[in-house]
Structure 1
Amino acid sequence: MTEENEPQEKRQNGVRFRGPVVLRRGQVQESTTDQRLLDSRGPTEWLHSDPWRVHRITAEFVEGFGALAELGPAVAVFGSARTKPESTEYRQGVEVGRLLAEAGYAVITGGGPGAMESANQGAVKGGGTSVGLGIELPFEQGLNDYVDLGVNFRYFFARKTMFVKYAQGFVVLPGGFGTMDELFEALTLVQTRKVTSFPIVLLGKDYWSGLVDWLRGTMVARGKASEADLALFTLTDSPAEAVQAIQGSNGRRAADESAAFAEKVAAERSGEQWPEG
């Protein structure tokens, strides 16, 4: 096929059309897309270009959606990779993972060591599905041995989407910057109603109380948040109470959805038009 009639990349009056992209003057390349694809001896810089990254990003979403689509009810458990196996925090992670599994939830973690490993271990002990969503880091980490279903990501934002999309709540063990990032993203999504009926439990009063005091004494006191925003999460020391908070919230959500459906049916039967959405 000649360059003049090639559908994906062609030149007209000094202008090159590459799919939907228009190139003129210094942006025009003499080679075609097919030529660059088939020329294995050519440069490889294009592999690191932004358009190529779009395909990698798309692939990560496709892989994540495909792997988790049939997961069923799930809860994400976050916490520090530095948590020691002999610590109370690790034992709490094992217990909350076990209780979640026994309550019928899959357990999703970041797939790494420490608190993440503890929750995955608990999920296995409870006979549930243990999921790990790993992330490419400068230092090698890998998925822990208790992960039954694992997906590794290059991009944090793709990975974070999977946590929120496939989890019905978060349990947050003591952790560092990564844990804080996940926690406050979840709080923001709930506060702005991007997700609804999404329980968030902070497990470990001694660790989290200072943060909660700051939220109340500084953020709320200075008008940067409302007192009602502090009700978006539950603070407890008990893994059992953490799981109960998750179950209670999801039970209320199911009841609300059932009530909304019944109201819709009643409105349709009475001839009223039900609003979309």
Structure 2
Amino acid sequence: MKQPELGKRLADLRQQKSMTQEELVEACNVSVRTIQRIESGEVTPRTSTVKILLSALGADLESFKSTIEITKSDEKLRTSESWLHVAWISGIVYFVLGFLDAALEYGRYENEFEVDSVTFYAFSKLLYFVSYSFFMFGLIRLGDYFTNYLLKITGYLMVGLFAIITFFDIFSIFYSMSEFNLMTLGAGESICVGATGIVFGIGLMRLQDSMGQLAKIAGIIEIVAGFFFAVVILFLLGYMMLVPATIIEIILLYKGYEFIKSERLKS
């Protein structure tokens, strides 16, 4: 047990017993200053001191530890529930913004941008990245909850790649690059996204036992999309495959949110 959590739990237990610090002093013969410093997290008491305080509060060390573990578990469930709630909503935003992003990319390569359009392009790219990040962090959270480290690691990699791609997209608008350099950069991005997407799809498939067939289907689609991106010349097919993959993943996040919420209410 570490501070400041230990002190907070002791203070909560004392208040549950409707005892003041002075009354606790009388019950256990520990100085009021010591109790104040323990409860505020200033010092870490010896185990023997904790036992004396708990005895005066009508509790024992083992039950006290169990209460802390249950509280930690409940806090973890609440955190996961909140993340998944934000994630599935962000997934919808990301999905909608994807169509806007496609339209902007078309306008960019058709040289239809003016100054105001360039500013809007940069802003929309950043918003697109933020919504994608929250969406992916939800899937990463699922990986963490179900001990799926492959999904967690590749999820972080996907966010990192998306950040790099977003940076270069915005950078290339304000600083001219040759067509060859743009094509080379695009090919490199496509290969990296494809390779990572294949592994990410495998991670999603590993959620099948916990989240059902939808996870398997989403994983297979991600693998196929990853293959198309890796081939480069088929990247448009990869983008098309991401449409059903994203929809299924949003549903997965919502199901995960409902599952963790029900688990928290049971505990």
* TM-score between the two structures when normalised by the length of structure 2: 0.30
* TM-score between the two structures when normalised by the length of structure 1: 0.29
Max radius of gyration: which structure?
2
Q: Which has the higher contact order (CA 8 A, sep 6+)?
A: 2
More strand by share: 1
